[in-house]
């Protein structure tokens, strides 16, 4: 079975019965990314070296119920982007992390130098703020899937904050995440 990095990090963040809800949703609904238009817009702007103000055009075609959320994140990204130096964006096929029957797709949204540091970055848009378990899961998976492309980071877009950890903190997550993957599969097979 294949799931997204977002689904897996959400699962890792949950406890008890709420883990079953994440698995049930993944099994019944498949992958769905509410933020896809904004994510793709940011990736496109970064790839072309364009102006982040181009992202404002996304609001014209966004469903009415998403305009406020999209607008908040676009404005926050534009503010974060100001004054930073970006190297060329490097394209890579989405990485994968596989444990037993579970395969997690690990797309890096940005693989480029930011202010002189090579980074492999996943964009995080949602509310509430990213939790430590989610952040560490994403950092581990990015580091695993893109080992030679830079420091794994998560950009919490709404806050304009880059999250990263020491390599030993990230690699220490391996056994924990393998256990979470096995639990995900057990729940999936029981539904």
Please give the tally of structural domains in the chain: 1
Model confidence over 32-83: pLDDT tens digits?
A: 789 999 999 999 999 888 999 999 999 999 999 999 999 999 999 999 999 9
Q: For 3-16, how does the pLDDT look when each residue is reduced to its tens digit (9 = 90+)?
A: 999 999 999 999 99
Distance separating alpha carbons of residues 44 and 40, to the nearest angstrom: 6
d(CA 94, CA 178): 20
Q: What is the mean pLDDT of the chain?
A: 94
Span 172-184, pLDDT tens digits: 999 999 999 999 9
Closest CA to 126 of 73, 168, 84: 73
Q: Average of pLDDT values for 21-30?
A: 92
Find where tokens 């444990």 sit: 99
Domain of residue 186 covers 2-190
CA-to-CA separations, 129 to 103, 112, 124, in angstroms, rounded: 26, 24, 9
């Amino acid at each position: 079975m294949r799931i997204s990095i977002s689904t897996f990090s959400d699962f890792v963040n949950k406890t008890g019965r709420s883990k079953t809800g994440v698995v049930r949703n993944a099994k019944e609904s498949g992958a769905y990314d509410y933020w896809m238009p904004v994510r793709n817009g940011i990736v496109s702007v970064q790839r072309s070296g364009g102006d982040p103000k181009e992202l404002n055009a996304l609001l014209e075609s966004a469903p009415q119920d998403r305009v406020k959320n999209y607008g908040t994140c676009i404005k926050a990204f534009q503010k974060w982007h100001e004054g930073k130096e970006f190297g060329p964006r490097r394209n890579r096929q989405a990485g994968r992390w596989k444990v037993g029957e579970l395969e997690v797709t690990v797309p890096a949204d940005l693989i480029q130098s930011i202010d002189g540091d090579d980074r492999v970055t996943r964009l995080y848009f949602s509310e509430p703020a990213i939790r430590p378990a989610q952040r560490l899961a994403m950092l581990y998976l990015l580091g695993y899937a893109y080992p030679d492309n830079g420091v794994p980071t998560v950009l919490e877009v709404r806050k304009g904050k880059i999250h990263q950890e020491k390599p030993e903190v990230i690699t220490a997550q391996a056994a924990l995440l393998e256990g979470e993957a096995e639990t995900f599969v057990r729940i999936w097979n029981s539904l």
